[in-house]
Amino acid sequence: MSDDIVKTLLESLTDEQKAQLVQGLLKSNENEEVPVLKEETVSSTPRSNITEDFKVVSNDKLEKRKTPVKARKNQWVDEGEDRDPNFDPQKFERMGKAARNRGKTKKKNVECHVCGRSFSVNPAYVYGENFRCNRCTGR
């Protein structure tokens, strides 16, 4: 804020408001904690060297750009440590599969407003009055 704005603000306050402002500022300064800055550690071995002719030579062998991928045998073994102790497979066998009661969709007959050909379409795809067929969508 500029000095003029601060001066006009302070002049508009009453003596009681000024005292409350001073007390609030003092309390906020007491409650503030000083942030502790963490120092970054620098590794003693540099990752790359710069030669006399300004070429960068990398020391780290893990940062190769192209490395071949070789397939290995999967060594993971399921030891069952995360299984639910209350799991009962017979309960799920008794429940059986869910019934598939949904019938086929009833298609709606629509006439193309460009070529006049009539054809059937899923009603979920029909919207508006002007519907185009597959041939006329590119026109």
Q: What is the pLDDT of residue 110?
A: 92
Q: What is the pLDDT of residue 45?
A: 61
Query: Given a cut of 90, is residue 58 above it in pLDDT?
Result: no
Dihedral of the CA atoms 16, 22, 25, 29 (nearest 10)? -140
Query: Given a cut of 90, is residue 9 above it in pLDDT?
Result: no
Distance in angstroms (rounded) separating the CA atoms of residues 40 and 37: 9
pTM for the whole thing? Answer: 0.29
Query: Given a cut of 60, is residue 26 above it in pLDDT?
Result: yes
Structure tokens at 113: 């407003």
Q: What is the pLDDT of residue 106?
A: 93
Mean pLDDT of the chain: 81
